[in-house]
Structure 1
Amino acid sequence: MLYKIWMSIVKEFLLLKRDLGGLIILFIMPLILVITVTIIQDSTFKTVSDNKIQILLVDNDKGSVSKTVFDNLQKNNAFDIITQIDNQPITEEVAKENVYKGKFKLAIVIPKDLSVDLQAKVDQNVQNIVSKMGFTDSIAEPKTSKVLQQKEVKLYFDPAVQMSFKTSVMNAIDKMISQIETKSIYTTFQNQLGEENAQFEQKSFITFKEIIPRINNKEVLPNSVQHNVPAWTLFAIFFIVIPLSINIVKEKSQGTFVRLLTNPTSNLIIIIGKTITYLMICMIQFYMMVAVAIFLFPHIGLPSLNVEGHLFLMSVVALFSGFGAIGFGILLGTIASTQEQSAPFGATSVIILAAVGGVWVPVFAMPKIMQIIAKSSPMNWGLEAFYDVLLRNGSFVEIIPKISLLFLFFIITTSIALFYDKKKRTV
Structure 2
Amino acid sequence: MRRITAIMIFELKRMFKKPQSYLLMFGMPLLFTFIFGALFSSEGESKPSIAVVDEDHTTLSEALVNELQSKNIMDISILTAKEASEKFKDQKVTGYIQINKEFEEQMLNKEIPEVVFVYSPSFNGAKMIEQVINDSMVKLRIEATAASTYQNIAGDSWKGVQGKISNELATDASIKKVVISKSKELETMNNMTARSAGFTIMFVMITMLIITGIFLEARQTGVWYRMMSTPTSKKELLIGYLLAFFLIGWIQFGVLMLVSTFVFDVNWGNVFGIFVLVSSLLLCTIGLGLFIAGFVRTSEQQSVFGNLIIVSTCMLGGVYWPLEIMPNVMQQIAKFVPQYWGLEGFAELTVRGGTVMDVLAPSGVLLAFTLVFLLIGMNRIKFE
Superposed displacement of residue 252, structure 1? 1.9
Superposed displacement of residue 219, structure 1? 7.7
Superposed displacement of residue 214, structure 1? 5.1
The separation in 2 between residues aligned to 1:114 and 1:246, in whole angstroms, is 72
| 1:419 alignment partner, one of 374, 379, 384 | 379
Structure 1 length as normaliser, TM-score? 0.75
* Superposed counterparts of 1:355-370, under 5 Å: 355-370=315-330
Are 1:59 and 1:66, in contact at CA under 8 Å, matched by a contact in 2?
A: yes
Q: Which runs of no fewer than 5 residues in structure 2 stay unpaired?
A: none
Are 1:63 and 1:116, in contact at CA under 8 Å, matched by a contact in 2?
A: no
Question: What amino acid sits opposite 1:55 in the alignment?
Answer: I
Distance 1:161 1:202, change over 3 A: closer
Distance 1:189 1:392, change over 3 A: farther
Are 1:59 and 1:110, in contact at CA under 8 Å, matched by a contact in 2?
A: yes
Size of the aligned set, in residue pairs, is 376
The structure, 1 or 2, with the larger RCO (C-alpha pairs under 8 Å, 6+ apart) is 2
Superposed displacement of residue 167, structure 1? 5.2
* Superposed counterparts of 1:278-427, under 5 Å: 278-297=245-264, 304-307=265-268, 310-422=270-382, 425=384
Corresponding residue SS for 1:211:
coil
Question: What amino acid sits opposite 2:65 in the alignment?
Answer: F
Question: What amino acid sits opposite 2:304 in the alignment?
Answer: P
Counterpart of 1:257?
Answer: 224
Q: Which runs of no fewer than 5 residues in structure 1 stay unpaired?
A: 122-147, 298-303
Deviation sequence 1:135-158 (CA, Å, 0-9, x none): xxxxxxxxxxxxx4x445444554
- Across the aligned residues of Structure 1 and Structure 2, the Cα RMSD in angstroms comes to 3.4
The separation in 1 between residues aligned to 2:118 and 2:212, in whole angstroms, is 51
Give yes or no for the alignment of 1:230 onto 2:219. no
Superposed displacement of residue 54, structure 1? 1.8
Give yes or no for the alignment of 1:8 onto 2:2. no
Are 2:212 and 2:290, in contact at CA under 8 Å, matched by a contact in 1?
A: yes
Counterpart of 1:179?
Answer: 139
| 1:240 alignment partner, one of 198, 201, 207 | 207
Question: What amino acid sits opposite 1:279 in the alignment?
Answer: F
Are 1:104 and 1:158, in contact at CA under 8 Å, matched by a contact in 2?
A: no
Question: What amino acid sits opposite 1:412 in the alignment?
Answer: V
Counterpart of 1:115?
Answer: 104
Deviation sequence 1:122-174 (CA, Å, 0-9, x none): xxxxxxxxxxxxxxxxxxxxxxxxxx4x4454445544444xx4454444444
Question: What amino acid sits opposite 1:231 in the alignment?
Answer: G
Distance 1:369 1:324, change over 3 A: same
Are 1:245 and 1:343, in contact at CA under 8 Å, matched by a contact in 2?
A: no
The separation in 1 between residues aligned to 2:255 and 2:155, in whole angstroms, is 68
Distance 1:377 1:353, change over 3 A: same
Are 2:187 and 2:352, in contact at CA under 8 Å, matched by a contact in 1?
A: no
Counterpart of 2:84?
Answer: 90
Deviation sequence 1:365-417 (CA, Å, 0-9, x none): 21232122111111111011111111123333332221111112122111111
The separation in 2 between residues aligned to 1:167 and 1:320, in whole angstroms, is 45
Superposed displacement of residue 20, structure 1? 3.3
| 2:50 alignment partner, one of 46, 55, 62 | 55
Corresponding residue SS for 1:56:
strand
In terms of mean alpha carbon deviation, does 345-354 or 222-231 score higher? 222-231
Are 2:208 and 2:249, in contact at CA under 8 Å, matched by a contact in 1?
A: no
Deviation sequence 1:276-332 (CA, Å, 0-9, x none): 2222222222222222233234xxxxxx2234x523323322222222221111222
Question: What amino acid sits opposite 2:207 in the alignment?
Answer: I
